[in-house]
Chains A and B, each alone.
Chain A
Amino acid sequence: MIKILLIEDVVDNIELTRKILVSAGYEVVHASEAEAGMEQAVSEQPDLILLDLGLPDYDGQTVAGWLSADPRTAAIPVVAYTAWPEATARQMVTSYGCVGYIPKPILKVNDFLTQIASFLPSQQEYDPSR
């Protein structure tokens, strides 16, 4: 089963995102703070990390930079998950080694799942009929 690490602090966003991903057949692990998220990325070795840029201890960019620079996590795709204005989000994605970003809030579930699948390594693409 494809494992996604969700690093996000807002309870409503956590519940909605987890529900959508689990219903689509993904395994979801979760951290509410940056440092816990970095630890889980190392220990869980997820297939993809969905990363909120605004976190209570360190911000998402710090997490993305650390994950990209650590050989234990450098190969895991990190997707910024943010309500930031698009231009700012794109700038941070480019600078901090994320593979892309998904804007919040989720407006269409199918669009969200298609975006998630597009960031997964090709052999793990989301199959809605699974």
Chain B
Amino acid sequence: MTLPADPRIQLVPASRFTVEQLTTLYNQTRVDYLVPMPMNAARLAEYIRTYDVDLDHSLVACQGDEVLGLAMLGVRRDRTWITRLGVLPSTRRHGTGQALMEGLLEQTARLNIKFCMLEVIKDNTPAHTLFRKMGFREIGELLVLRRSPTLPPPDPVIADAQPLDPVEALDLVGRNRGTQPWTNQSETLNNARDVSGLNVMLPDGSHGWLVYQRQKFTLTRFAYKTDVGDPPTVAMAFLSHLHYMYPRLDTQLENIQINDPHLPALYKAGYVEAFRRIEMWFGDPPKSLLS
């Protein structure tokens, strides 16, 4: 148990609670959130698995018998990730958020990890201010993009498109794609179910690949790279083939970096911005993140 600055607030490991209890608490903290993102227990369980959330090192804030809020910690080798931070509306402005943040940074240090990352929704000023106060710095803006299945597939692009099975797809994801936010790192795709991909080769010799997760109603968790050629041109080729294959599925892309060279193709294919996040880092990034 961690004792934060306010001795009335106790932090206990989230693993002492069931996923159902954590889901209820999480939803209660988000009821008035800028962009409400409620979850059911199955979705939270999938989130925990996919993003390597460590419930033993995640925290629930309590005061006596009353639960005040929670914050989760993702753990991957040499880095941690703070996510799902929330405080019940009726108990805010009493230091619970700061206590949870201090607790998670302490957990990171206990794991002998010196680097932590997170994302905050743009214009969520109270959270952004808290993270800066805790020593996090802004790295860049991230886009949450969507494409409606009511749109027709993009115009066909002449290219040789080779479907990839999960093993082939995950092999590509592990290659260098530059620094990625937590949600888009190779570990995420390795943990996800129903992952497959496309390799595209255009007549001029340019080529690249796309790996994605296909869920019942959605396509999501894209990883992609242009190996040779112009990124928007290669991206139009894989997007054209993908949406022709799955015309009925909604598409949701999380945390696309604002300087991603493939973005023009995404917009041309009908993707729209839902909202933006700001990526923030604490400490010096490990080499594994930058390679």
**Smallest Cβ distance from A79 to chain B, in angstroms?**
16
B250 CB within 8 Å of chain A: yes
In contact, A91 and B274 (Cβ under 8 angstroms)? yes
B266 CB within 8 Å of chain A: no
In contact, A55 and B38 (Cβ under 8 angstroms)? yes
**A64 CA to B218 CA in the complex, in Å?**
12
Nearest-neighbor residue (CB-CB) of A96 within chain B: B148
**B interface secondary structure, majority:** loop
| Chain B residues whose C-beta falls within 8 Å of the C-beta of A10 in the assembled complex | 31, 38
Q: Mark A51-78, 1 if CB is under 8 A from B, else 0.
A: 0011111110110111011000000000
Nearest-neighbor residue (CB-CB) of B146 within chain A: A61
Indicate which residue in A56, A62, A83, A85 contacts B218 across the interface (CB closer than 8 Å).
A62
Nearest-neighbor residue (CB-CB) of B215 within chain A: A58
| Chain A residues whose C-beta falls within 8 Å of the C-beta of B27 in the assembled complex | 56
Across chains A and B, the number of contacting residue pairs, with CB separation under 8 Å, is 69
Counting contact residues on chain B (CB < 8 A from A), the size range is 20 to 34
Nearest-neighbor residue (CB-CB) of B248 within chain A: A69
Indicate which residue in B43, B250, B274 contacts A66 across the interface (CB closer than 8 Å).
B250
**A68 CA to B148 CA in the complex, in Å?**
10
In contact, B40 and A56 (Cβ under 8 angstroms)? yes
In contact, B274 and A56 (Cβ under 8 angstroms)? no
Q: With contacts A88-B274, A91-B274 known, is A54 near B38, CB below 8 A?
A: yes
In contact, A9 and B38 (Cβ under 8 angstroms)? yes
| Chain A residues whose C-beta falls within 8 Å of the C-beta of B273 in the assembled complex | 91
**A33 CA to B273 CA in the complex, in Å?**
24
| Chain A residues whose C-beta falls within 8 Å of the C-beta of B244 in the assembled complex | none
Indicate which residue in A9, A55, A57, A62 contacts B250 across the interface (CB closer than 8 Å).
A62
In contact, A69 and B274 (Cβ under 8 angstroms)? no
Listed in ascending order, the chain A residues whose CB lies under 8 Å from chain B are 9-10, 33-34, 53-59, 61-62, 64-66, 68-69, 83-85, 88, 91-92, 95-97
Listed in ascending order, the chain B residues whose CB lies under 8 Å from chain A are 27, 31-32, 34-40, 42-43, 146, 148-150, 217-218, 247-248, 250, 252, 272-275
A sample of 4 more A-B contacts (CB under 8 A), given A55-B38, A62-B218, is: A33-B40, A66-B149, A69-B149, A88-B274
